Chain A
Amino acid sequence: MSQYVLRRLLIAIPSLLGISVVLFVVLALAPGDPFSELATNPNVPPEVQAALRAKFGLDDPIYLRYLSWLSAMLHGDWGFSFVSRMNVDQLILQRLPATLYVIGSAQILALLIAIPVGVYAATKPYSLFDQIANTLAFVGFSLPTFFTGILFILIFSVTLDWLPFVYTTDIKATGIRWVLEMIRQAIMPVAVLGLFQAASMTRFVRSAMLDVIRLDYVTTARAKGLGQTKVIVKHVMRNAMIPVVTLIALQMPAVFGGAIVTEQIFRIPGIGSLLISSILSNDTPVVMAVTFVFACLVVLFNLIADVLYGWLDPRISLR
């Protein structure tokens, strides 16, 4: 087992290196530079722009830039943002709480909807409930979040005036009122994202359940005279959850990575909106750091999933 884990770990290192090379090259080849806004500013002479580019190493060859990035990264130096001239790690840490709170809540909401609905739908396939759940799930993941987001804003903020649609990180209340305000402003983004995720997850849970529910051992359990609830919860769900757990594990990086569209619509200062604004302003160090963290998380959770498989099914780790 430990040998298996070690082997997986050693494979992870070259894949991370490979990912970083690809990311770096793509970013270096992408058009634009961080000082684009200066180009139309008559106050900034062209020589200054050129000097800035030289100072930030933008004119060096790609391999040199990559090597200096890599060596800095190995020393724990994430570099600094060209745009805000602030350390990148500081910038990411500032954005992380909002992302974890909103996207995390949305994932929990998605699970709370998907598991019971998926399980119940699978126990009564093609019943009225199953058909309604399926239809809603299809509608749910066909509607993009930018559409539902704006729809929610128009209904709940503009027409009904119940909820704010600008997310603020500095609510001026304390104690219980602060908590209530935090919840109030997160309702719409969490609902938009949670419902979207729940839709696809429901389908997944349902089909995983259906795969198991038809197996012989379930029929045996029923034949023994066990109650329906007991059969479903103890015998079917436990086994059906194995692929579902994998799916959730692989979705964890998304929680850290934020949801770009939703964050943009509701002005949530999360990692997703940091990434998009950095891409738009060609702030390479930030884009590099965020995407690399994202890649690390994917690799890490893949590793965890692999290890989990190995533990669940020892045959895998022996191969």
Chain B
Amino acid sequence: MLDKELRSMIGDVKDGRMDRRAFIKRMAAVGLTAPLANQILALGGVAMAEGPQVYKPTKRGGGGALKLLWWQGPTLLNPHFATGTKDQDGSRLFYEPLACWDPDGNMKLVLAAEIPSIQNGGLAADGKSVTWKLKPGVKWHDGKPFTADDVVFNWEYAKDPATSALTIGTYRDITVEKVDDLTVRILFNKPTPFWADAFVGAPNTIIPKHLFADYKGAKSREAPTNLSPVGTGPYKFVEFKPGDLVRGQLNPDYHMPTRPYFDTVEMKGGGDAVSAARAVIQTGEYDFGWNIQVEDDVLLRLEKGGKGKTIYAVGGDTEFIALNFTDPNTEVDGERSSMKTKHPLLSDPAVRKALSLLVDRESVKKAIYGRAGRTTANFLNGPEKFVSKNTTWEFSIEKASKLLDDAGWKPGADGIREKDGKKLKLLYQTSINGPRQKTQAIVKQACQKAGIDVELKSVVASVFFSSDVANPDTYAHFYADLEMFQIPLSQPDPAQHMRRYLSTLVATKENKWQGTNFPRWVNKDYDATIDAAESEMDPVKRAALYIKANDLMYQDTVFIPVQHRLKVEAAANNLRPIISGWANETDNLHDWYREE
């Protein structure tokens, strides 16, 4: 759609010449989804609409017990120390953020009284500050009032390096100030188009100042409330056994009317995803099973005549194969995959393009991911407005072979292609995980047919994803030619995600492989595009920049996207959970209920 046309439409909505619904309809007509339209409106200066209400119960409580099964149980209950989504999920039963994300990527109010917008003065037009109004009358579980001081304290707590909070990345570059008891202002040091990071969503819930003030900094581990949270949430803390059990009971003073529905909540940990699916879908022992990464035919079998079903949420997670741009087999100054080398095979664009043609995404979807996957040509698959429409993918052994023939890669006596004495042999690694190993097999087979010899390697996940400097098998060392995994897109915004591949962030020995650009791809155009996007306040232009960034990766075949993965959960047939691809599973728990 023409930039000008869109802009004038936003203007129409702003001035009341067009209603919001008509705008969203017209956007839908050109292939954009409602959340995208909403976000465009919000950033274009029209107040963001709150997500639709789906909650039906008319009174608080009476819903009995809610039994949740997390096959990796929470191991701690302080959101600032959460080392994974499981810990955020557990903390989120008790602690709350200012706002959260609904299934469509709309913002939903929790502890805030209104969504900041340019109209209500919450959002500065220059993108350098945002002002949140807090809901009055909210009380902590111990009866103390929730105020702006608590919000400011969380910022001070998290940004202090001595606290060693894992949320420090969100808070260290901002300033949070109290305007009055129920108003806080966040100041950014540069225009920040995605302002809804601090204090929003399950990773950024708020802990009470009066119980943590004495445990800021070096003493952070000693706080007794690390293990027995006192929050503002729908459920009050009862019991916690790390890795095994979290229990809560209804908070009679909860600030949202008629909520929560359930009288108690229990989150049981341990076991594996398949048996979790069985306990929810087949035997009905539990109401909800988290993150059911199980092959689709197993789920279909369980669902036959079962007591539960699977549910899906669309987010932006992409399973991809990354290509190494440096040589993993040559050591320079004690470092393999050094920036001083070039990959002997993969630096040929024809080889990279041929590999992309050899990944049969449709077969991978059919054989492995089923309902939980979508084929894609893009690295960036969400939110919708950032998804490129300029790309296509294809599976063709003939085309790949022709491409290689034309580039001078001729089959040798053993059927493996070679050029200038270099054989087309590749090492393809991933983490140990059923679907990943099956994908490897599918790709290997196609490559063999095209005359590429692929050796498969799988590394145990706890090693592969570790930041261990001494271990050569981590994904960041990338001592292989190809590697496959996914990096979750944790917010409904691609800024952090796309930043990782700046040429300044290449993973090297010098930065102890803490750099995030593991393909070691260097592209000046990409760097400039990301820099521009990060301070671009115009939502339409900003989206266009991220699409351009994605397309640059596509043109250079830095990644071969295998599958756009959906979130899969198991739920009892009568449970009405609210699951968003942009939020943690428990982020909308206050709205869950059971259909009688």
Contact = CB atoms under 8 A, between A and B. Distances in A.
Contact of A37 (B283, B465, B475, B499): B465
Nearest to A280: B462
Contacts of A95: 244
B457 to A, nearest CB: 14
Nearest to A36: B466
B244 A282 contact: no
Nearest to A279: B462
Contact of B462 (A38, A53, A282): A282
A170 interface: yes
Interface string A264-303: 1101010001100100111000000000000000000000
Interface string A38-72: 11111111111111110100000000000000000
A101 interface: no
B205 interface: no
Contacts of B488: 40-41
B445 to A, nearest CB: 28
A282 B203 CA distance: 23
For the complex, would chain B's binding face be called helix, strand, loop or mixed by DSSP majority? Answer: loop
Contacts of B243: 84, 269, 273-274, 277
A33 B468 contact: yes
Contacts of A168: 245, 266, 268
B458 to A, nearest CB: 14
B135 to A, nearest CB: 26
A68 B283 CA distance: 49
Given A157-B283, A169-B244, A273-B270, A265 B275 contact: yes
A35 B496 CA distance: 20
Given A86-B227, A274-B243, A166 B511 contact: no
Contact of A49 (B226, B244, B514): B514
Interface size class of B (residues with CB under 8 A): 35 or more
Contacts of A81: 75, 242
A85 B514 contact: no
A81 B227 CA distance: 13
Interface in B470-502: 471, 473-476, 485, 487-488, 490, 496-497, 499-500
A282 B241 contact: no
Nearest to A164: B285
Contacts of B168: 44-45, 48
Interface size class of A (residues with CB under 8 A): 35 or more
A35 B467 contact: yes
B76 A84 contact: yes
B301 to A, nearest CB: 12
A39 B496 contact: no
B69 interface: yes
A196 interface: no
Given A40-B488, A80-B221, A94 B511 contact: no
Contacts of B266: 168, 170
Contacts of A41: 84, 166, 488, 490
B23 interface: no
A53 B470 CA distance: 13
Contacts of B474: 39
Interface centre among A31, A50, A91 (most CB of B within 10 A): A31
B167 interface: yes
A83 interface: yes
Interface centre among A48, A161, A168, A274 (most CB of B within 10 A): A48
A149 to B, nearest CB: 10
B449 interface: no
B318 interface: no
A37 B487 contact: no
A32 interface: yes
Given A37-B83, A46-B514, A172-B65, A166 B279 contact: yes
Interface string A208-243: 000000000000000000000000000000000000
Given A53-B467, A95-B244, A157-B285, 16 more contacts: A31-B462, A32-B463, A42-B497, A43-B166, A43-B496, A44-B168, A49-B514, A83-B76, A85-B78, A94-B241, A158-B283, A165-B283, A166-B69, A170-B245, A269-B243, A277-B270
Q: Which 5 A-B pairs have the closest CB atoms?
A: A46-B514, A36-B466, A269-B244, A84-B242, A42-B496
